[in-house]
Structure 1
Amino acid sequence: MDDEVLGAFAAYQRAQDLSENTIRNRASILRTLRATTDTSLVDATVTQLRTFQGREGIKPGSRRTCRNALTAFYTFLVEDGYRDDNPAARLPVVRAPKGTARPFTHEQVDAMLESGAYARTRAMILLGYYQGFRVSSIAAVHGHDIDLLAGTIRSVVKGDKPLSFPLHPVIAELSRLMPADDWWFPARAGHTGHIHSSSVTNLITRAKHRAGITDPQLTPHSLRHSFGTDLVDHEIDIRVVQELMGHGSVATTEIYTRVSAKRKRDAIHVLPPRAIPHRSGRNRDIPPVAA
């Protein structure tokens, strides 16, 4: 019964033009719920949903995503007549703090590029930093996406939206070293298509570790954060940054407008230096300070 309902829910979401990534993520959440309860998904109670949403070890952002998935699913069940009530309607609202950018520094990006990583991993790092691509977009770069005459690169962004972006000169140069008529990062072991995004994550993470970067908050996605933060630090208009990052709303881009660590360092260095005193000066005559 649950598999049938999940299939119907997936079709319902596709009719709403939701991305396949969203559909897969919601299905994963619902299957996890099913594995932790002793009833079917259709018969789950509000108490079971609250227990699941409130389970330990979940970050606020993930808890909010979980609530959204449950609300969408049980709203669908009511609309299609699988049940008469909506237990998700009584789930508490999750107040997750607004996210903050977690960028790599320029020195850390250089360290990863010089860490002994293979050419394809270096290409992935460059795409993350110079184009601001997510790992899913990096994995799917094809030679046909590059138009050197127009100076553009195509990509499918979050929400399955195909967009064209300006091509950074570094990536234009890189393209001359990459396949022109094939995937830049083809799948291996006899598989067709491009590699999985998780493979991109693993390869960049290895380069990070080889570079001696131990901060757990820095992930391959942090290359995208570096892209957005550096653009804002160079005073690029926020609407331009929004377009370059493929954000549907400028509100999503606003996390990059918060004061960056670099700007804080630059600000503190504005204060003029002075010699550190080694004596208190108590035994010398101090002239009065003019008003």
Structure 2
Amino acid sequence: MSSRAVDDYLRHLTVERGLARNTLASYRRDLAMYEAWLEREAIGGPERVSEADLSAFARYLGAEREPALAVSSVARVLSSVRGLHRFLAEEGRTATDPARNLRPPKLPMRLPKAIPVEQVAAIIEAAGIGEEVVALRDVALLELLYATGARVSEATALNVDDLVDDEVVRLFGKGGKQRIVPVGSYARRALDAYLVRSRPVLSVRGSATPALFLGVRGRRMSRQAVWQVLQDAAERAGVAASVSPHTLRHSFATHLLSGGADVRVVQELLGHASVATTQIYTLVTADTLREMYTAAHPRAR
């Protein structure tokens, strides 16, 4: 049973911040775990907690709890706890905020998942199997994703007029930020075939729309539809790795850097605001270089 402090905080999140039901349920679970620990340690309610108590709770989550929580889960629970104590301090129900210095554990760096060029080619080739109208669209779609590193939301938002010419495409990223990205020869040929032989057939099935990629009913493709196209093609190609449209974006960046592209050029192509975001891909290519060095150099092992 939750305390009045937690109930009031959850009500605040509902009324003042308008959080979704699932998000509130997550807060409720996290804070129930926290209150159960406070009761077991005979500390009392959240209003009686000290900084030392919070440090002990963080240790409990990550090491003493059975089973111990994953680092990401510990970070989420501690975020909920910090929010609760900040609320209590702002409401004047505690003199200070004991969680002000509580820091979540550092999340392990997740390296982007890329697949080899050969697997990308196999997936795109497999997308061309089937009814011509749909196959031409699917090949053009996947070629464009891999050629430009576009996010799936950017690809589905494309209009025909965003194909500026045969060489470049206009993408609209986060915050409506526009960028111009070159389109390689494979993608250009696939797009030409789709625009001439497939899109006109699809467009008459629905109301007039400027969307570049159309579904079978003539409407703009959804992100879920793009995901399904890629899943089906990967399955037909026998690619066992878990793939998503973002996998093609990661592969685009990794393959460019492996080929010698400057990280700042790749940053611009990906639409990253900071080069630091793009530099995570250099870790992937550095791993590849180390593997090649170890395998080839006579004094590497």
**TM above 0.5:** yes
Give the total of aligned pairs.
242
Q: Does 1:126 align with 2:143?
A: yes
Decide whether the 8 Å contact of 2:71 with 2:105 is kept in 1: yes
Offset, 1:165 = 2.0
Give the one of 131, 139, 145 matched to 2:156. Answer: 139
Offset, 1:227 = 0.8
Distance 1:62 1:119 in 2: 43
Query: Counterparts in 2 of 1:105-120, with a 5 A limit?
Result: 105-115=116-126, 116=129, 118-120=135-137
SS of residue paired to 1:258: helix
Give the one of 234, 242, 255 matched to 1:208. Answer: 234
Matched AA of 2:17 = L
Matched AA of 1:94 = P
Distance 2:279 2:93 in 1: 40
Decide whether the 8 Å contact of 1:152 with 1:164 is kept in 2: no
Matched AA of 1:132 = G
Distance 1:89 1:33, change over 3 A: farther
Offset, 1:187 = 6.1
Q: Deviations over 1:178-203 (max 9, x none)?
A: 3596212346779x7x3332332232
Distance 1:28 1:122 in 2: 39
Decide whether the 8 Å contact of 1:141 with 1:155 is kept in 2: yes
Offset, 1:259 = 5.0
RMSD between aligned residues:
4.3
Give the one of 209, 212, 223 matched to 1:184. Answer: 212
Query: Counterparts in 2 of 1:126-275, with a 5 A limit?
Result: 126-148=143-165, 151-158=167-174, 160-169=175-184, 170-176=186-192, 177-178=194-195, 182-186=210-214, 194-216=220-242, 218-260=243-285, 263=289, 267=293, 270=296
Distance 1:37 1:96 in 2: 18
Give the one of 19, 23, 26 matched to 1:33. Answer: 26
- Match for residue 12 of structure 1? none
Matched AA of 2:23 = L
Distance 1:5 1:95, change over 3 A: same
Distance 2:89 2:163 in 1: 45
Distance 2:245 2:222 in 1: 14
Offset, 1:167 = 2.5
Gaps of 5+ in 1: 10-26, 273-291
- Match for residue 104 of structure 2? 93
Q: Please, what TM-score do these two structures have when normalized by structure 1?
A: 0.63
Distance 1:94 1:113, change over 3 A: same
Distance 2:163 2:145 in 1: 16
Distance 1:155 1:106 in 2: 23
- Match for residue 6 of structure 1? 17
Offset, 1:139 = 2.1
Gaps of 5+ in 2: 1-10, 33-44, 201-208
Q: Deviations over 1:130-185 (max 9, x none)?
A: 10012222222221222107x43222323x24222222134444443335962123
Distance 1:73 1:246 in 2: 32
